[in-house]
Amino acid sequence: MIPDVNRIASASAKYPKPSPDFRPAYGTAGFRCNASLLGSTMFRCGLLTAVRAAVLGRHCGLMITASHNPEADNGVKIVEPSGEMLPQVCY
C-alpha cells in the first residue's frame, strides 16, 4: 500500500510544532516534556510507529507515559515488537 502523502501532510498540519526550533530529545523516558507541547510529537510518533510496523511486518506500539513528577510532565515511547522501547540509536 502506498501512503497518500497529501493526506499525511494535511493531517500533520493539524499538529504543528509549538515553535520552529522545538526538538524534544528521545531518551530513556521516551519523548518527555510538558504535555501541552506533545501534540506534534505524538502525531509524528504515530506515523513512525505505523511505518516501522509495516516495514518489520510486526506489531509495534506507543506508550503514553506519566510519572511521579507534576501532572503536566508526560511523555511517549515507541515500543518494539519485542516489547522493549525503540532504541535511542537505530542501526
Q: Catalytic site residues? A: 67
For 64, the enclosing helix (H) or strand (E) is strand 61-66
Strand partners, 79: 61, 85
Look at residues 90, 76, 79 and name the one whose alpha carbon lies nearest to residue 24.
Answer: 76
